[in-house]
Structure 1
Amino acid sequence: MSPTPEQRELVAQACRVLAARGLADGILGHISLRIDADTLLVRCRGPRERGLAFTTAADIHWVDLDGAPAAPDELADGHTVPNELPLHTELLRRHPDVDAVVHAHPPTVVAADLAGLLVRPILGSFDIPGAHLAAGGVPVYPRSVLVRSRALAAEVSEAMAGRPVVILRGHGLTSAADTVERAVLQAISVDTISRISLQVASAGGTLVDIAEEDWADLPDLGGSFNVATSWRHELARLHDCGC
């Protein structure tokens, strides 16, 4: 099964969303989408690399789990797969329910972790999906290495312990989901919680988790709202800024 132009454009849009949200300001970071059991689309770096904010569908290439072109014309234009491709492929190998992986370098997430601030459910209706994500825990991979081997990627996968997002200490985060949209939105939620946690701590405040009795009134509003509507908003933001 070959990828469609729409799938390439989705990954490209998602890269621009990451950049617009400040999770990937420069040239580092990448997103992948599973195409079948043995191949994926992934954001690659080209000979005239300009950064994630300027990603187009031409930067999204179809490769196998070892990073080799999945079709003769893939990577023929000088693009190369990410050094950290194993972050994507190892999660896809190990988790059949994962179809999309985001790796980004959000400064606020890195800073909050280095300050010793865990991602906790401090926000309620402000971001209900984020609250539930935080309540389940966001683990930390404690090594600040370039994850360019299957062995290191396996360590990251084990550190995730089945959770959808893991923080990579002094590095960034990795988010995995069934769709590109959900993987990006999860990363945005973790970034938002980290940013507010830093603001509270720097103001001399104390982080307090949501009261137990409040959870009953923080329902899952469903994918059509949590994902579809939220994603339309992200794309509208891109359009509004001309990104």
Structure 2
Amino acid sequence: MTEFPQERQLVSDACRVLAARGLAEGFLGHVSLRVDDSRLLVRCRGQQERGLAWTSPEDIRLVDLDGAAAAAGELDGWSVPNELPLHTEVLRTDPEVKAVVHAHPPSVVAADLAGLAIRPIVGAYDIPGAKLAAGGVPVYPRGVLVRNRTLAQEMVAAMAGRPVVLLRGHGLTSSGGSVQEAVLRALSVDTLARMALAVVSAGGRLVDLPPEDLAELPDLGPAFNEGVAWRHELARLG
């Protein structure tokens, strides 16, 4: 537990953000961060598991890509997620990915089951979310526990190089070049799902943002899109 204290804090904070935002309100869901070619930090379950909202750096353990302890004592009293392959297969497939989020947002599950795709229905309301949706958010159509490499490879194939994939009847998997980016992408997808459900529930029709409006949306840069946005999420935790 002496290695990577700042990184463990970051992954712990990310789990708490997911819980606070309603994407992982119970004890299901996890976040991982690649620390080198063969090891990652991942939220594990201890003997006193209470849920993601109460995640601490102690819950973040160092493991290898096969789920074995990557240092002495790392898994004493902790177990890796059943769906660790979901994380490791994404990391194995794309070396640019540094972090993976798996969560169970009810609105995302409900929207998908209702046949509502994640579409760029908003503009400046959520610029990164609009651009993410415009590029496509695919669906892995099996409502299974992604607990082995075969299933994880199926999920990655469905992901088709996109940073986020919905898991039918299950949740989502989000990836990024940082923990912050992976979490914020998941939040944007959840926002779009909730917006779609609200529009349809009000009797409205989902309409994509016109291409000329999408093209007009600026890239406000990582200092704003990640830096300010992440500080806001941490401040919300209190």
Query: TM-score with structure 2 length normalisation?
Result: 0.98
Structural mapping, 1:70-149, within 5 Å: 70-76=70-76, 78-149=77-148
Q: Secondary structure at the match of 1:36?
A: coil
Task: Give the structure 1 partner of residue 231 of structure 2.
Answer: 232
1:145 and 1:212 map into 2 onto residues whose CA distance is 36
1:151 and 1:131 map into 2 onto residues whose CA distance is 32
Q: Offset at 1:135? A: 0.1
Deviation track 1:130-183 (CA, whole Å, cap 9, x = no partner) reads: 000000000000000000000000000010000000000000000011100000
Amino acid at match of 2:61: H
Q: Offset at 1:4? A: 1.4
Task: Give the structure 1 partner of residue 36 of structure 2.
Answer: 36
Amino acid at match of 2:67: G
Structure 1 gap segments, 5+ residues each: none
Amino acid at match of 1:51: G
Q: Offset at 1:212? A: 1.8
Deviation track 1:223-243 (CA, whole Å, cap 9, x = no partner) reads: 11101110000001011xxxx
Amino acid at match of 1:89: T
Is the CA contact (8 Å cut-off) linking 2:118 and 2:137 kept in structure 1? yes
Q: Offset at 1:216? A: 3.1
Is the CA contact (8 Å cut-off) linking 1:3 and 1:35 kept in structure 2? no
Q: Offset at 1:217? A: 2.2
Task: Give the structure 2 partner of residue 56 of structure 1.
Answer: 56
Q: Secondary structure at the match of 1:101?
A: strand
Q: Offset at 1:213? A: 1.8
Task: Give the structure 1 partner of residue 14 of structure 2.
Answer: 14
Q: Offset at 1:3? A: 4.0
Query: TM-score with structure 1 length normalisation?
Result: 0.96
1:213 and 1:161 map into 2 onto residues whose CA distance is 26
Q: Offset at 1:25? A: 0.5
Task: Give the structure 2 partner of residue 168 of structure 1.
Answer: 167
Q: Where in structure 1 do 4 or more consecutive aligned residues deviate above 2 Å?
A: none
Q: Offset at 1:75? A: 1.1
Structure 2 gap segments, 5+ residues each: none
Deviation track 1:186-210 (CA, whole Å, cap 9, x = no partner) reads: 0000000000100000111000111
1:166 and 1:73 map into 2 onto residues whose CA distance is 34
Aligned length: 237
Identity rate, percent: 68
Is the CA contact (8 Å cut-off) linking 2:118 and 2:192 kept in structure 1? yes
1:36 and 1:213 map into 2 onto residues whose CA distance is 41
